[in-house]
Structure 1
Amino acid sequence: MKNLKKISIFTLTAFAMLLLSSCDDTTDKFVVSETDPVTLSDLTITEIELDAFNTNNPAVTFNWTEADYGQQASINYSLELSADEAFTNSVIPATVNGNNTVTLSVSELNNAAGNAGLNPFEWATLYARVVSNLGTQNGLPVSSNSISFNVYPYFNYVFNDYYLVGDATAPNWNNNSNNPALYRDENNSNVYYYTGYFANGHFKVIETKGQWHPQYGTDDGSTFWGTTATNSSPEPERFPYGGGDGIPEGFYTFTMDFGNKTFTFEPFNADGIDSPTSLSIQGSSLITTDMTPLDFDGHIWYALSVHLVPGDLTFSADGTAWGSTISFSGVATANGGNIPVVVEDDYDVWFNDLTGRYIMIPLNL
């Protein structure tokens, strides 16, 4: 047994000396150097008209030479697109590792063009380049040459829209009876509001008029969840929460945050806020169109299936123009500017004279 212990001690000592020796060995340092820029090839086509009906089809393929950082390393390539040659506000629609080609689908190129600032239904120039870098920290980035091509994007409506239903609301439990729309926040597309009169009762939120699913409700009074388009069981409980007689009638502000699935339901003081005697939509986007107040709550105005063309509009309340500079949904103020209309379509338009909030929901995009 003593001999075995001596052998073990000798073996461990020799292993420690070998480990120390290898730690001092600096002959195999991993050294990389900055690569020359890769070369992005010109495209075989220079004009690409995007088809809104075949969005999964390939639209364009980019090819480039391989980077050389002097070692066998994990090389990333980021495709960068921009509306200007200086790549001031560029977008990155694709990143690949160890590959020197990437194909964008119609929808991917259309989204990138929109995010880069190109207008829909207009020919415009996009610039492209490839940035190579190393590893998870994106070290030693080097940009390629840039190329350009012309693209004709279609419009991509990226927002969701939501409607009230329930015995506390105007349509009662009818899911297809001019259900009032929630108003999307102008800065955070996850947040929606509705300020107005609620009767004694409960309500839920639906995503598509005439369909019960998806629908949203609460099981605990502070968070909410929703069903899918095909899931009908189980379903969430009704807002604001609980059974019995429901909420007392009155004016409230209902807020939903789809980012964290929370909501609030707070009393709103509507005293002293008078509705205009008349409200219309006017501007270069349409023939002047009168809006109608809900019988249930005269502060909520609507005009359905209004045909709008690219241009602008304002809400005329007893002769005063109420507007903003934000498309689709925002807060209008007296003499607050012209609301841009960026794409032609038929719209349901809603306006709340308690808050100035408006939403224009395209019906065919």
Structure 2
Amino acid sequence: MKFKILLLAVLSLGFFLNSCEDDNAIITVSETNPISLSELSVSMIELDPNNPANPAVTFNWEEADYGFPASENYDVIMASDASFTNPVVATSAAGATSATLSMNELNTIAGTVGIPPFEFNTLYAKVESSIGTQNGLPVSSNAIMFSVQPYFNYDFKDYFLVGNGTAADWNNNNNNPPLFRDAENIDLYTYTGLFTKGGGGFTDGRFKLLEARGMWQPQWGTTLSEPDDLIETSGEIAGNPTTQDSDPGRFGVTADGYYKFTVNFSSFTYSIEPYDASGATEFSSMTLQGSALTEDAVMMQLPFDSHIWYVNSINLAPGDVSFTTNTGASWGSDSSFSGSATEGGNAIPVIVQDDYEVWFNDLTGDYIMIPLNL
């Protein structure tokens, strides 16, 4: 018995010493030589908006050698200039020597680095290898270049007022005014303007939101269904068909007047609060001007609300626009498609040519430019 105990003790000590030797082993990692990124088989890529999931380009490169077997990290980096001044990581791969981007992915990258749509321009690509969870010892490959013609995706949603509390009444295709989208939060929309209570009854002063003129669905309203949809100043929103199969309830106001209506499609909430427009300037005309137009465009004044101006359709080229009042004041902003203009602000950039529907609110400076064909 003593011999067995002694033998076990010796074996355990040997195992302990071996474990210590393994724990103290030193692995030397050396920086890899720059890997080689292969040239593409094609030099010009025209991106297809009708097949966004189809492969657009495949990058191939050599495996990095850091001196011991490990899974390396690879980042495909792209930019609009050979110096990679504003680089973007297009995709990442672990332990692989190739990566493929779809039409939509390459289109997004092209837009991010500033390549304009509908024309060929040069993109630059390289691969950066690294190792470990902290991406240690990064080494860049050679750079390659190719031409790409992106398309343009208008990824925003637009919403339009309908109801007897609004200019359009319960007509879903009556020049229904759009909500104004926030420039920073694409899920946040507001409309500051005149709402009417009409005859003053329970069903008067009501409205909903449509996603497209001429169509009753999708539509948005309150979570309370008719006829139990009491007029509230805030609450949750519901949508057919987004949140339910039945139509939602109606928003509403309790008296004629100016209100600020706010809806947040990320939190699915809304609010309606009175707005004091008593000291607002009444402009007699509004003109759309700028390098994006061949000539100045006179905006129409909404008969229902003199502070809302619009142009139903106007062709705008890449350039800029601003809103000019009859007093000579110029209103602008640095945000494309939607935002809040200020007097003396920068001209509004137009980044893609199309026919646009343009709306401007002179109470708040809010504007929205909706492309009609993108």
Shift of 1:178: 1.4
Whichever residue aligns with residue 98 of structure 2, its letter is: T
Distance (Å, rounded) in 1 between the aligned partners of 2:364 and 2:49: 36
Distance (Å, rounded) in 1 between the aligned partners of 2:129 and 2:83: 18
The corresponding residue for 1:254 is: 261
Is the 8 Å Cα contact of residues 223 and 248 (structure 2) preserved in structure 1?
yes
The corresponding residue for 2:245 is: 233
Q: Deviations over 1:164-217 (max 9, x none)?
A: 223322223322221111112223333222111122333322222222333333
Shift of 1:89: 1.6
Shift of 1:363: 0.7
1:337 alignment partner, one of 339, 346, 366: 346
The corresponding residue for 1:6 is: none
Seen in structure 2, the aligned counterparts of structure 1 residues 85 and 12 have a Cα distance that, compared at 3 Å, is farther
Is the 8 Å Cα contact of residues 213 and 232 (structure 1) preserved in structure 2?
no
Distance (Å, rounded) in 2 between the aligned partners of 1:11 and 1:232: 75
The corresponding residue for 1:105 is: 102
The corresponding residue for 2:158 is: 161
Identity fraction in percent:
49
2:300 alignment partner, one of 270, 284, 292: 292
Whichever residue aligns with residue 148 of structure 2, its letter is: V
Root-mean-square deviation (Å)? 3.0
The corresponding residue for 1:215 is: 219
Is the 8 Å Cα contact of residues 166 and 173 (structure 1) preserved in structure 2?
yes
Shift of 1:136: 4.1
2:104 is paired with a residue whose SS is helix
Shift of 1:114: 0.7
Shift of 1:156: 2.5
Q: Are 1:79 and 2:76 an aligned pair?
A: yes
Distance (Å, rounded) in 2 between the aligned partners of 1:164 and 1:38: 57
Structure 1 residues 207-216 or 344-353, which shifts more?
207-216
Shift of 1:28: 5.1
The corresponding residue for 1:24 is: 20
Structure 1 residues 355-364 or 246-255, which shifts more?
246-255
1:60 alignment partner, one of 57, 62, 70: 57
1:203 is paired with a residue whose SS is strand
The corresponding residue for 1:175 is: 172
Seen in structure 2, the aligned counterparts of structure 1 residues 276 and 225 have a Cα distance that, compared at 3 Å, is same
Distance (Å, rounded) in 1 between the aligned partners of 2:248 and 2:96: 46
Seen in structure 2, the aligned counterparts of structure 1 residues 314 and 52 have a Cα distance that, compared at 3 Å, is same
Seen in structure 2, the aligned counterparts of structure 1 residues 185 and 62 have a Cα distance that, compared at 3 Å, is same
Is the 8 Å Cα contact of residues 36 and 142 (structure 2) preserved in structure 1?
yes
Distance (Å, rounded) in 2 between the aligned partners of 1:223 and 1:37: 56
The corresponding residue for 2:237 is: 224
1:308 alignment partner, one of 316, 319, 337: 316
Q: Deviations over 1:137-174 (max 9, x none)?
A: 43433222211122222223232222222332222332
2:126 alignment partner, one of 126, 129, 132: 129
Distance (Å, rounded) in 2 between the aligned partners of 1:298 and 1:281: 17
Distance (Å, rounded) in 1 between the aligned partners of 2:143 and 2:32: 17
Structure 1 residues 214-223 or 269-278, which shifts more?
214-223
Shift of 1:279: 1.5
Distance (Å, rounded) in 2 between the aligned partners of 1:16 and 1:266: 78
The corresponding residue for 1:268 is: 275
Distance (Å, rounded) in 2 between the aligned partners of 1:56 and 1:105: 5
Shift of 1:226: 3.6
Seen in structure 2, the aligned counterparts of structure 1 residues 302 and 59 have a Cα distance that, compared at 3 Å, is same
Structure 1 residues 342-351 or 202-211, which shifts more?
202-211
Shift of 1:41: 0.8
Distance (Å, rounded) in 1 between the aligned partners of 2:133 and 2:241: 36
Seen in structure 2, the aligned counterparts of structure 1 residues 113 and 334 have a Cα distance that, compared at 3 Å, is same
1:87 is paired with a residue whose SS is coil
Distance (Å, rounded) in 2 between the aligned partners of 1:39 and 1:223: 55
Seen in structure 2, the aligned counterparts of structure 1 residues 19 and 227 have a Cα distance that, compared at 3 Å, is farther
Is the 8 Å Cα contact of residues 126 and 148 (structure 1) preserved in structure 2?
yes
2:175 is paired with a residue whose SS is coil
Is the 8 Å Cα contact of residues 202 and 247 (structure 1) preserved in structure 2?
no
1:204 alignment partner, one of 208, 226, 239: 208
Seen in structure 2, the aligned counterparts of structure 1 residues 253 and 94 have a Cα distance that, compared at 3 Å, is same
Q: Deviations over 1:329-357 (max 9, x none)?
A: 12223333332222221111101010111
